[in-house]
Amino acid sequence: MADVYPGGADQRIADPVWMLRADQEGWVALTKDHSVVRDHRDVLAETTLRVFAYNNANLTGSEMVDRLDTNFNRILQRAAKPGPYVYVIGRDSLELRWRPTPDP
C-alpha cells in the first residue's frame, strides 16, 4: 500500500477507495482488517475483488509470515478463482468468510 499511496497516505486512505482501486487493477488484497466484510459488504458486492484477511489484527510480523507460508499454496489456488470473496487466514487453514449469494 505504501508504494501505491506513499507518504503515509496508505494509513489514511478510505477502505472503499483502496478496494475499488485494487479491483480495477486486478490485484489480490491482503489485509489485517477481517471486518472488511461487515463494514464494506456493499463495496465488495460491486467488485470482483479477491481478499485474504488475517483473523487477528494483533499478530506479530513473524506470525503473519508464518501464516502466509503455511497457507501460501491454498491462497494461490483460491486467488486463481474469480471474486468477489473474502477468505480469512487462520494458523493452518483458510475460511471462506464471504461470497455474494447468487440472484435467484
What is the per-residue pLDDT across 35-52, written as a single tens digit (0 to 9) for each?
Answer: 888 999 999 999 999 999
Q: Per DSSP, which regions of 1-104 are E strands? A: 28-31, 50-54, 85-89, 94-98
pTM score: 0.91
> In this predicted model, what pLDDT tens digit does every residue of 21-34 receive, in sequence order?
999 999 999 999 87
Contact call for residues 86 and 74 (beta carbons, < 8 A) = no
